[in-house]
A and B are shown apart, each in its own frame.
Chain A
Amino acid sequence: NAGVMQNPRHLVRRRGQEARLRCSPMKGHSHVYWYRQLPEEGLKFMVYLQKENIIDESGMPKERFSAEFPKEGPSILRIQQVVRGDSAAYFCASSAPYRAPGNTIYFGEGSWLTVV
């Protein structure tokens, strides 16, 4: 059973370009979370999604950032017109439906975005 898979692991973008980060949750998991870790800081919640629904996006910047988790395929975190301050590690996590046995949140290895 593969873990949470994120790609790309490392991404370099020039200012103004778009960054797309992908996350495939663990098998059987229908809940996906995105977190951002700025340099020398802790992880900050961005968004929580279920299949085809955004449940909580209270941590998402108001502009340029969007997330989706379609019925088929991975979850996508999209950052438009990237700026240097977007350089960070973006972690995806997934969990099973509520009240499932062992309802733990599992993290991927992260995607490191560098904006030059």
Chain B
Amino acid sequence: KQEVTQIPAALSVPEGENLVLNCSFTDSAIYNLQWFRQDPGKGLTSLLLIQSSQREQTSGRLNASLDKSSGRSTLYIAASQPGDSATYLCAVRRGETSGSRLTFGEGTQLTVNP
């Protein structure tokens, strides 16, 4: 059974700081890994998707890496802003065929202070 763990559970940083969010998963046989952002009372916004054959993806100030063999991914946020405050969720997709569902971590709640 796939288990996804995110560390830390909560993080508070001053504006402008670079930060790293961590995600680990127990079963390395994944199809892809996705990072989402969730604002309070809102739905999920997909930030980055990394296929199992890829090692990283970048979008603006965000960079996500994937080390499938060790079961780890990191989300790097450069020059953090108060608008980055949200919960960040990591999710792995089991496979391309049966099930094909996402397994989520519990999330990291990020607060960026002005």
> Are the CB atoms of A42 and B89 closer together than 8 Å?
yes
Chain B CB within 8 A of A62 CB:
no
Interface contact tally, CB-CB below 8 A? 54
> Are the CB atoms of B100 and A95 closer together than 8 Å?
yes
How many chain B residues sit at the interface, stated as a range, is: 20 to 34
> Are the CB atoms of B99 and A48 closer together than 8 Å?
yes
Chain A CB within 8 A of B78 CB:
no
Set of chain B residues within 8 Å of A69, measured between Cβ atoms: none
Residues facing A in B45-89 (CB within 8 A) are 46, 49, 89
CB distance from B91 to the nearest CB of A (A): 8
- Overall SS of chain A's interface: strand
Q: Assuming A41-B106, A42-B107, A105-B93, is B100 touching A31 (CB within 8 A)?
A: yes
Tell me the complex Cα distance, A36–B81, Å: 30
Chain A CB within 8 A of B114 CB:
no
Among B46, B91, B96, the residue within 8 A (CB) of A106 is B46
How many chain A residues sit at the interface, stated as a range, is: 20 to 34
> Are the CB atoms of A98 and B96 closer together than 8 Å?
yes
Chain B CB within 8 A of A45 CB:
yes
Tell me the complex Cα distance, A43–B44, Å: 10
Chain B CB within 8 A of A25 CB:
no
> Are the CB atoms of B101 and A48 closer together than 8 Å?
yes
Taking beta carbons and an 8 Å cutoff, which residues of B are in contact with A?
34, 36, 41-44, 46, 49, 89, 91, 93, 96-107
What are 5 pairs between A and B in contact, CB < 8 Å? Answer: A42-B104, A56-B98, A56-B101, A98-B96, A98-B97
